[in-house]
Every structure is written in structure tokens, then in C-alpha cells.
């Protein structure tokens, strides 16, 4: 049974970038609209409205492909300064109802209203009120989900999109979760979903029939999380100060990088940007691993990672060589990054604080 001590709202804007553009340009309303890059310069769709989705257009699709699917599609170049301003206005509205806000992106956030004194502490009425405020004051719509925890609230916000509100009361959690398709669990992608289908696991109720050991045997470390989520259990609090888990850079090219030597020539520029981004972080992060990513002409992406605690070019060269060995071919995108260890996150008692500080100084000095 899920914890019922919290009242969590997940708010997700409907087609956020496209919605802002349609609000500001009435001629775009009722037309298929996408926000994205130039289709003649390898641009990619960032988001699109629902009329465009009817034609099969979706985010991360090449703009040129989107136009082939929907010749009437209007592609608007992104204006992130404008989107950030609207996002700030949305969060100003959130703060009328609670100070416990965890942003997930410009257009998505968790709110903990467990202690709110508004609307007699009715999370449902609070969610409806903030939805109305955003529509009236900002001219865009949001969908919201209300539930006893973050996992279920996020599932609920997607239940009646667009412009919907869905509530999962504590008393209905067990029945709701038992029938919930496994694909609704965050982290269950195509590969894991196919593996589950092969095991005849289609709903969370099916997952509940498996023990912790069985889930771990089939899904590794993810098995423990599946055990709890399939029962509607998620004790994560809403975190008002978000901390990073990784830092990365990537570049999409107008012309494909045709071979390994071309990939490696891009490494210096990417690494310079990665170091600059890492340097902007506060002093409480350590590098705990490295990663590289390649997207090919057919939009298939491959990535690999390795243990490492510094941004040495040799490490990333080895990762790119490993990717080339896995699949040889021209790349339209190359990216590199680093996993981070957050020293401000809750940890075991630090028995050797001086050694930890020395390691942090040493790592920073090598960059």
C-alpha cells in the first residue's frame, strides 16, 4: 500500500513551447505547429502541438522528416528566453499555494501541498485553482495529477492530457496500480518493455506476483525499484533545491562526421565546452564516471560509459573508439558527459573529511 501521508501534485504544461508560440501568434492556432530547428540544416523538433502529433510528428524527430509527414507543418524557431520567462511566471503562481516546489524542467514540476491551508487542504481543489490561474493569466493550459506520492502524481498528470486533471485518492491506489500498464513506470523503455512482455508481465499487478529476488534476477538493480513502484510505493520527498546528477554537451552537425578520425577531431571542442560547464557548478560535485554518445544517420543512438574521475581526453577517445567498434558509420550527433557525485546529498557519516576535501581539490586542479 502506498504512503498516504503526502499530497503531491504533478503539473505538466501542454505542448509548452508550441503553446506559448500559438498564444503569441493567433494565426498559428488550429494549425499543426512545431518548435524546432531548420529542416534544411539538420534541425530537430523540440515539441509540437496535438494537430501535428496527429500526423505522427513528435519531439526529437528530424525537422525534415516532420515536414514529410505533415507538409502543412509550421516550424517555429525556439525562443528559450521567452519560455524561461513564462516558466518563471508559472512558478510564481505555484508559490501562491506552496513553497515546496521541485522543478523538473521549464514546463514541469512537483508540488507538495500536504501542509497547505488553502481550500481546506484539498489537493484536488488546489490543483484545479492553479490550472485556472495559469490559463487565465498566462494563456496556456496545463495538466495536473494528484496522488499520495511523486510516482503516481506523474502518472496521473498524463492520464487526461491535454488540459486535464486526474486524481488518485489513497483508498484507490491499490486497484489503480494493479491495472497500470508496465510501460507507465519511469525507466521501462522499449528494451525493458520487450523483456517484460516476454515474461508475460503486462501490468503492475503482474509484477506484484514476482518476488524481490525474481525481479532482481531479471532486471538487475532496477528490480528493487520495480518491486516498490508496482505496488504504488514511492517515498521520495519533493526536493526544493535540485541537484545535478550529470553534466554533458553534444553537437548536431550540418554534415555527418563520416569516420572515427572525424569523430575524434570533434573531441577537443566538445571537451572544452564540457570543462566550462563543469567549472560553473558549485564546489560540491565530484566526477564519478564518463560517458559518450553518438546518433547515426538513421537516428539510432548508442552510448557507452566508464569509471573515471577526471576529464582526460584519453578517456573520451577510448569511449568513442568503443562506440565505433560497436557500430561503424557516419554520425549526425556526438556528445560527451560526466556522471556526478553530489557531496551535499545525504551520505553515510564521513569518517575521513580531510581525505575527501583533498580528493576534491585534486580533481579540480586537474581540469
- pLDDT one-digit tens code per residue, 187-217: 888 889 999 999 999 999 999 999 999 999 9
pLDDT band at 42; cut points 50, 70, 90: confident
* 298-326: pLDDT as tens digits: 888 899 998 888 888 999 999 999 999 99
- Written as nine digits, the cell of 193 is 518493455
Please say whether the beta carbons of 250 and 125 come within 8 A.
no
Would you tell me which CATH number, out of the four given (3.90.1300.10, 3.30.1490.100, 3.40.50.300, 1.10.10.10), belongs to the domain 246-366? 3.30.1490.100
Q: Is 107 annotated as a binding residue?
A: yes
Specify the pTM: 0.71
Count CA atoms within 13 Å of residue 365 on its CB side: 6
Any known ligand binding at 174? no
pLDDT, greater one: 266 or 357: 266
Residues of the chain with CATH 3.40.1170.60: 17-79
d(CA 204, CA 227): 9
State the pLDDT at residue 240. 83
Lowest mean pLDDT among 6-10, 152-156, 170-174, 342-346: 342-346
Phi, psi of 197 (to 5 degrees): -60, -35
Residue 145 has pLDDT above 90, yes or no: yes
**pLDDT band per the 50, 70, 90 thresholds, residue 140:** very high
Q: What is the mean pLDDT of residues 80-93?
A: 93
| Active site positions, annotated | 108
> What pLDDT, on the 0 to 100 scale, is given for residue 286?
87
- The correct CATH number of 8-15+81-170 out of 3.30.70.270, 3.30.450.20, 3.40.50.720, 3.10.310.30 is 3.30.70.270
Question: For the structural domain made of 17-79, what CATH number should be given?
Answer: 3.40.1170.60
Beta bridge partners of 62: 44
Residue 56 has pLDDT above 70, yes or no: yes
**Residue 353 confidence (pLDDT):** 47
What residue has cell string 490550472?
131
pLDDT at 361 (0 to 100) = 55
Please name every residue paired with 305 in a beta bridge, in sequence order, or none if there are none: 291
The CATH homologous superfamily to which domain 179-229 belongs is 5' to 3' exonuclease, C-terminal subdomain (1.10.150.20)
Amino acid at each position: 500500500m502506498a504512503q498516504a501521508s503526502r499530497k503531491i501534485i504533478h503539473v505538466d504544461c501542454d505542448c509548452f513551447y508550441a503553446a506559448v508560440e500559438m498564444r503569441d501568434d493567433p494565426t498559428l492556432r488550429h494549425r499543426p505547429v512545431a518548435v524546432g530547428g531548420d529542416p534544411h540544416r539538420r534541425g530537430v523538433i523540440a515539441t509540437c502541438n496535438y494537430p501535428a502529433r496527429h500526423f505522427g510528428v513528435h519531439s526529437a524527430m528530424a525537422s525534415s522528416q516532420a515536414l514529410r509527414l505533415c507538409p502543412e507543418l509550421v516550424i517555429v524557431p525556439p525562443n528559450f528566453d521567452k519560455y524561461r520567462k513564462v516558466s518563471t511566471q508559472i512558478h510564481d503562481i505555484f508559490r501562491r499555494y506552496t513553497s515546496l516546489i521541485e522543478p523538473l524542467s521549464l514546463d514541469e514540476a512537483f508540488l507538495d501541498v500536504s501542509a497547505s491551508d488553502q481550500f481546506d487542504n484539498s489537493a484536488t481543489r488546489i490543483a484545479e485553482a492553479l490550472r485556472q490561474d495559469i490559463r487565465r493569466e498566462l494563456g496556456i493550459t496545463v495538466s495536473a495529477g494528484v496522488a499520495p506520492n511523486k510516482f503516481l502524481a506523474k502518472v496521473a498528470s498524463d492520464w487526461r492530457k491535454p488540459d486535464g486533471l486526474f486524481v488518485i485518492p489513497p483508498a484507490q491506489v491499490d486497484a489503480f496500480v494493479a491495472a497500470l500498464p508496465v510501460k507507465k513506470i519511469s525507466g521501462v523503455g522499449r528494451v525493458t518493455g520487450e523483456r517484460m512482455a516476454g515474461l508475460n508481465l503486462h501490468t503492475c499487478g503482474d509484477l506484484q506476483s514476482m518476488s524481490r529476488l525474481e525481479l532482481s534476477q531479471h532486471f538487475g538493480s532496477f528490480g528493487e525499484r520495480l518491486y516498490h513502484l508496482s505496488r504504488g510505493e514511492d517515498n521520495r520527498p519533493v526536493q526544493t533545491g535540485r541537484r545535478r546528477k550529470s553534466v554533458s554537451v553534444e553537437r548536431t552537425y550540418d554534415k555527418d562526421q563520416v569516420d572515427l578520425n572525424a569523430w575524434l577531431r570533434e573531441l577537443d571542442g566538445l571537451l572544452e565546452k564540457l570543462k566550462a560547464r563543469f567549472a560553473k557548478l558549485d564546489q560540491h560535485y565530484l566526477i564519478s564516471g564518463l560517458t559518450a554518445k553518438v546518433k547515426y544517420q538513421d537516428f539510432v543512438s548508442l552510448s557507452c560509459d566508464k569509471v573515471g574521475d577526471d576529464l582526460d581526453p584519453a578517456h573520451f577517445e577510448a569511449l568513442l573508439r568503443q562506440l565505433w567498434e560497436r557500430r561503424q558509420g557516419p554520425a549526425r550527433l556526438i556528445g560527451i558527459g560526466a556522471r556526478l557525485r553530489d557531496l551535499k546529498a545525504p551520505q553515510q557519516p564521513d569518517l575521513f573529511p580531510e581525505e575527501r576535501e583533498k580528493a576534491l581539490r585534486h580533481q579540480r586542479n586537474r581540469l
